[in-house]
Amino acid sequence: GAGVSQSPSNKVTEKGKDVELRCDPISGHTALYWYRQSLGQGLEFLIYFQGNSAPDKSGLPSDRFSAERTGGSVSTLTIQRTQQEDSAVYLCASSFAILYEQYFGPGTRLTVT
């Protein structure tokens, strides 16, 4: 079946603008995760959703970051008032449920100029 897909693959934005990144998980997966990969911080967890439970937002670096998951499927990560330090590759993953094997999408490379 289809894997995790993300869009756009690349995004260049000016400092101060808002951006939205999209993730389509594997069909039937109830858990969805966002991670970020940057040169200085490596791969770090941002947020996860499990079914209808409240999301775990413990990894979000600031209140400029938010995410939602509509209908238990597609998720959108929103970064408001982007800063240069937000430049990174944003990776989405999904799994059958929490604690199950996670599968990653190709990522969105965000560049803030």
Partner 1 sequence: GIQVEQSPPDLILQEGANSTLRCNFSDSVNNLQWFHQNPWGQLINLFYIPSGTKQNGRLSATTVATERYSLLYISSSQTTDSGVYFCAPLGNKLVFGAGTILRVKS
Residues near partner 1 (CB under 8 A) are 33, 35, 37, 42-45, 48, 56, 59, 89, 91, 93, 98-99, 101-104, 106-107, 109
Check if the beta carbon of residue 34 is closer than 8 Å to that of residue 20. Answer: no
Which residue, 74 or 89, has its beta carbon nearer to partner 1?
89
Which residue, 44 or 68, has its beta carbon nearer to partner 1?
44
Rounded least distance, CB 65 to partner 1, Å: 16
Rounded least distance, CB 37 to partner 1, Å: 8
Question: Hunting for tokens 């990560």 — which residue is that?
Answer: 77
Residue 42: is it exposed, middle or buried by C-beta count within 10 angstroms (0-12/13-18/19+)? Answer: exposed
Q: CA angle at residue 2 from 93 to 33, to 5 degrees?
A: 10
Rounded least distance, CB 81 to partner 1, Å: 26
Which residue, 59 or 80, has its beta carbon nearer to partner 1?
59
Rounded least distance, CB 83 to partner 1, Å: 22
Which residue, 14 or 28, has its beta carbon nearer to partner 1?
28
- Whole-number Å distance between alpha carbons of 34 and 44: 9
- Whole-number Å distance between alpha carbons of 113 and 76: 22
Lookup: tokens for 44: 């770090």
